[in-house]
Amino acid sequence: MKKHLISFAFTLLTVAFMNAQKTPGYIPLASFNKDTLQYLKANFENQKAKYIGKPIGMIFNDLELEIKCGLRLNQSPRSKKYFAGVILLFYNLSLNQSYSLEKRRRLSEEMKNYGLYIETEQPINSVDYITISRRDYANGNVDWSNNRKIFFAPFIVKSIKASGN
């Protein structure tokens, strides 16, 4: 019984600590009844002032959604060496989470895609990003990876927009 009490107390402290790390004004994902777009709009687009001028890593710290993939935003036709930000795409939360990852991917393609468009203050070097992407693909990782998260984390946010199409 003592073990269970200690374990329960540790779990409560861990959850409290994790919630304390979120940005002030953040609304937990559970409050949105699996409405992915409303979650993105309420926490990131409507509260973009607290993220603008800060590293993208701050958004990563607040995100409770699994990132499906990241796409380059606004690649300049004049210079393919740089792009202006990242589009984070997410799985639709209304999909049954007990489905296998493969089934969720297939079903997600047939349903709406949800994205968070993040424009950065400084241009992002395409060559550096492609190098990380190739390394991930070589390791069999075709989805979003921790390497990409680390790559984008220091870039400063210029604007944010949530979208569902």
pLDDT digits (tens, 9 = 90+) for 36-49: 889 999 999 999 99
User: Where are the chain's structural domains?
Assistant: 30-164
pLDDT at res. 56: 95
Does the pLDDT at position 156 exceed 90?
Answer: yes
Which tokens is 64 given? 């409770």
pLDDT at res. 155: 94
Residue 156 near residue 54 (C-beta atoms within 8 A): yes
Residue 154 near residue 55 (C-beta atoms within 8 A): yes
Model pTM? 0.71
pLDDT tens for residues 71-111?
Answer: 777 665 556 677 888 888 886 655 555 556 666 566 555 45
Q: Which residue has the higher pLDDT, 112 or 11?
A: 112
Amino acid at 76: S
pLDDT at res. 20: 47
pLDDT at res. 92: 61
Mean pLDDT for all residues in the chain:
77
